[in-house]
Structure 1
Amino acid sequence: MTRRYRILYHHRIRAEDGQAMHVRELIRALREEGHEVHECALVPKGDTEGGSNAEPVGGFWQRVRLPRVATEVMEIAYNRTAMRMLESACDRFRPDFIYERHALHLFAGLRVARRRRLRLLLEVNSPMVDEMTRLRLLHFRRRAARVEREVLGGADRVFPVTAVLRDWLVRCGADPAACRVVPNGADPARYGDTTRAEAAALRRSRGVPATAPVIGFVGYMRDWHRLDFAVDALGLPGMDQVHLCLVGEGPALPSVVGRAQQLSVGDRVHVFPAVPPREVPKHVSMFDVGMIPAINPYSSPLKLFDYFAAGVAAIAPDQPNVRESVTDAENGILFAADDGDAFGSRLAAALGDLDRTRAIGRAGLDRLLERDWTWRGNARRVVAAYEELAR
């Protein structure tokens, strides 16, 4: 690194979930790379640690039973507060550039960057207007689309988490030349012999035999995550020794546990509460196979990179955004998306040849290291993108 930068990091996150973990890890990585980061937010995340798989509280201001239209008005109004905070931070901190996590209706970063003649680097994790429209949660769609187009087109660099999302954002107004794909990451230094010993102790605490194959999931659990695929797989021929570990909470959990009881496999399903990020490695390291039974078509799942970092084989749907990180039977296991039978078949085959499956897990770690899919790697990508602009 030739220079240390002063980075003004703006976000609108209140939730204590994967979003917060992403913010926290990138801020930490930028600081570890030697940069000075000032976090501009109503609820700072950089110096705190919460449960990464706890219940999401909402994207902005805690959603305390407000009608969606009222929440959306508050999101729009937040821009005035954000611009005041950013202007004040610019006066005090004198940043080299602004880094902003994109949010619905949010234009404050772009406006202040233009006023201050600073570069705006924009992180984007989903096509928000399309997503909220599909969920029928967007009341001011035309306004939201106009703001999205302005911000995507005005940012000096745009960081989508997948190439699939990049193409989506280009259709929404982003300049293709400004886009740099930056997937999620993990910290492989948090995994090692000590972590594996802690994982073995966790297994023993739940009565899981040392030789029993374990499949697992870490994160917030919703119905669309299709954890029922895993429960059903426990009842397949040859799977009677397999245990399922679920780490986290969410509305799908009661039905998953209930289904396990109905299928008489409940004694092999183990539920662990939501844990803070520092405890994720020892929980993931319990698994022989880490699951992603379902995922949206554009995201870069945090848990996938945790599975890679742990050297745990990942099983995930065969779809374009997943194939950006996983090559079937090389560094992961792919199954036909939305097909529970295909999931069960591929999982049973993987657990029937654990030597091969563990080799796939090691290959996942190798690829993570080769591609530098780490938080510090992402910090370096952000800085490199800024330096392209500064030349």
Structure 2
Amino acid sequence: MPADHPPTKRGRVVMLVDNDVRGDSRVQKEARSMAAAGWEVILLGERRDSPLETWMIGDAEVRLVPMDDKLSVKPTAWRKSWRRPLSYAPGKEMPYRLEMIKVRQAELATRFAELNAKRRNGDSPAAHALGKAALLPTRVTHKVLSLWTRGRARETMKLRAARRDTNALFTKFPAWFWKTTMGNRAWRRLDPSLWQWELAFRNTIDKLEPDIIHANDFRMLGVGARAKLRAQAKGRKTKLVWDAHEYAPGLVPKFHRLWLPAITLHEAEYAPYADAVVTVSPSLADLLKEEHKLATRPGVVMNAPVQAPASDESAAAVPDLRADCGIGPDVPLLAYVGGITPVRGVDIIIDALPHLPEVHLAMVSVHPNGKNPAVEQIMAKAESLGVADRVHALPYVPHWQVSEYLSPADAAVSPLHHLPNHEIALSNKFFEYSHARLPLITSDIRTMAEMVRSTGQGEVFKAEDLDDFVRVVRLVMADPDRYRAAYDRDNLLLSWTWEAQAAVLDSVYTALLPASAPVAKPAPAVPAAPAEPQAAR
């Protein structure tokens, strides 16, 4: 083929994700593998208040689009409440008014001190009495204003408590009213911040003229659906793939009380626009089909690790876990990888260590951005229990190194609490632990517990039950080889590779765009890109 004619691509895929790509191993693997399969892939992520940034993941191009958060304001942040009309508006007014009470008290105390000083220095009783009388209006004003301010402050605190009560009638009313009057479109009233991704991404998507839009998760579903409509209005046959990472109604409410109803309505409005749906587990595929009345069951693309990293990925040596912990090969070692939040249950591992006097814990949880308050809190807890010398907080490694990095451990732990999304998940760490050939200690969340019991690769404990957790750790650590043997049966790990999952995603794209679709013109150029940054776990 002549040098001035680039190879024909199978079609242009624009992937959308609501993060900066670096910490999202799923989208990184999708972009790299689909580009390697012959698709022209441009992955759009977000970058807050900064210029456009771009780099390559294999043959896929990453662009971080500047986005501001001016719409990320709680719905109550600018509204006074008619149910507590004397309350202060949200913001800094209440603490300001309470501080002004102290200011007036300090001023009065100073003026009385001045009168008393003059009396001691020879002022007559009459002059002293006259001076006190002159302060009476100020004292009365201060008393009235103090009572008024403190009364309004009490009303404000009562309002805050009422707003936190999800069962309160007036808390439920706004969501009920807008859902009743607007249906799925009510998210526009409940959480307008969902528009900020649209404002940031829309022009870039339109200029790229994609054949396929791959929208990751609920926020980008709406962005992708609206982009598809604009493309169709111009006569292009753009297809939309929705990649559902989680079950939206099962998420823990965040940010404000209207956030969860807003995102579920947003998802419900735009799910019908998807030409194909993929998701992360069979259980979630079944839920999505039922929830959104989908014609076909979503394809399952699991978060499995890469079996054969690309040459640029495999060039760097994998660190030594035990060396990073400063321990030898005979020291019992548990491994945990991932974020630390209360519902992930990491506290139970720390609580168990006093009962497991020889066991160490490797937590691969330190974020490279340097902001690690959750890690600091868990280490403070370990210090208070006298086990900090056996808890090793380690930085994330690139996703393609995780399994090999963890393999020197004796067992791995997944102590998730019972939540709807946990019950249906086969998480990244499940597959990473499996490819590390580690015995798996998991809480009794449904899907993962069923898998571990069926394969024999580990043991299950009752979530949040310390005694049962200690029992299971002792059982596994007594004979880890018994559980490792499960990975040698029935080619268990072969289907749990990213390569197998990429073939599923490629088949989804191919069904939507069966014929080769040469790109009509090159994608709009962007400034020269720096080298790809190291991907974090």
3-state SS of paired residue (2:296): helix
Q: Return the TM-score normalized by structure 1.
A: 0.79
- Please report how far the alpha carbon of residue 16 of structure 1 lies from its aligned counterpart in structure 2 after TM superposition: 5.6
Percent identity between the aligned chains?
23
Identify the residue that residue 288 of structure 2 maps to in structure 1.
169
The structure having more radius of gyration, on CA atoms, is 2
3-state SS of paired residue (2:269): helix
- Please report how far the alpha carbon of residue 302 of structure 1 lies from its aligned counterpart in structure 2 after TM superposition: 1.1
Identify the residue that residue 317 of structure 1 maps to in structure 2.
443
Identify the residue that residue 99 of structure 1 maps to in structure 2.
214
- For each residue in 1:48-101, what CA deviation from the matched residue of structure 2 results, as whole angstroms up to 9, or x when unmatched? 69xxxxxxxxxx9577995445995343143244332222111xxx53x22111
- Please report how far the alpha carbon of residue 350 of structure 1 lies from its aligned counterpart in structure 2 after TM superposition: 0.5
- Structure 2: gaps spanning 5 or more residues: 1-7, 48-52, 59-65, 78-189, 367-371, 515-537
What is the distance in 2 between the residues matched to 1:240 and 1:364? 33
Alignment partner for residue 241 of structure 1, among 358, 368, 376? 358
Identify the residue that residue 232 of structure 1 maps to in structure 2.
351
3-state SS of paired residue (1:47): strand
Alignment partner for residue 217 of structure 1, among 323, 327, 336? 336
- Please report how far the alpha carbon of residue 152 of structure 1 lies from its aligned counterpart in structure 2 after TM superposition: 1.7
Identify the residue that residue 367 of structure 1 maps to in structure 2.
492
What is the distance in 2 between the residues matched to 1:75 and 1:315? 38
What is the distance in 1 between the residues matched to 2:342 and 2:298? 33
Question: Amino acid of the residue matched to residue 365 of structure 2?
Answer: G
Question: Amino acid of the residue matched to residue 36 of structure 2?
Answer: E
- Please report how far the alpha carbon of residue 184 of structure 1 lies from its aligned counterpart in structure 2 after TM superposition: 0.8
* 1:172-183 matches, cutoff 5 A: 172-183=291-302
Identify the residue that residue 330 of structure 1 maps to in structure 2.
456
Question: Amino acid of the residue matched to residue 327 of structure 2?
Answer: V
User: Bigger CA drift: 104-113 or 311-320?
Assistant: 104-113
What is the distance in 2 between the residues matched to 1:17 and 1:340? 35
* Change over 3 Å in CA distance of 1:212–1:141 after alignment to 2: closer
What is the distance in 1 between the residues matched to 2:455 and 2:407? 20
What is the distance in 2 between the residues matched to 1:162 and 1:8? 23
1:288 equivalent to 2:410? Answer yes
Question: Amino acid of the residue matched to residue 478 of structure 2?
Answer: G
Identify the residue that residue 474 of structure 2 maps to in structure 1.
348
Check whether the contact 2:74–2:255 (CA below 8 A) recurs between aligned residues. Answer: no
3-state SS of paired residue (1:107): helix
Identify the residue that residue 376 of structure 2 maps to in structure 1.
254
1:269 equivalent to 2:391? Answer yes
Question: Amino acid of the residue matched to residue 384 of structure 1?
Answer: S
3-state SS of paired residue (2:492): helix
Question: Amino acid of the residue matched to residue 349 of structure 1?
Answer: L
Question: Amino acid of the residue matched to residue 379 of structure 1?
Answer: A
- For each residue in 1:286-307, what CA deviation from the matched residue of structure 2 results, as whole angstroms up to 9, or x when unmatched? 3221211115233331111111
Identify the residue that residue 150 of structure 1 maps to in structure 2.
269
Identify the residue that residue 56 of structure 2 maps to in structure 1.
47
- Please report how far the alpha carbon of residue 172 of structure 1 lies from its aligned counterpart in structure 2 after TM superposition: 3.4
- Please report how far the alpha carbon of residue 363 of structure 1 lies from its aligned counterpart in structure 2 after TM superposition: 4.4
Identify the residue that residue 27 of structure 1 maps to in structure 2.
31
Check whether the contact 2:442–2:460 (CA below 8 A) recurs between aligned residues. Answer: yes
* Change over 3 Å in CA distance of 1:181–1:364 after alignment to 2: farther
What is the distance in 2 between the residues matched to 1:364 and 1:17? 35
How many residue pairs match? The answer is 364
What is the distance in 2 between the residues matched to 1:158 and 1:324? 25
Alignment partner for residue 10 of structure 1, among 11, 15, 29? 15
Check whether the contact 2:67–2:200 (CA below 8 A) recurs between aligned residues. Answer: no
1:385 equivalent to 2:505? Answer no
For the aligned residue pairs, the C-alpha RMSD in angstroms reads 3.5
Question: Amino acid of the residue matched to residue 338 of structure 1?
Answer: E
Question: Amino acid of the residue matched to residue 260 of structure 1?
Answer: A
* Change over 3 Å in CA distance of 1:210–1:141 after alignment to 2: closer
Identify the residue that residue 425 of structure 2 maps to in structure 1.
299
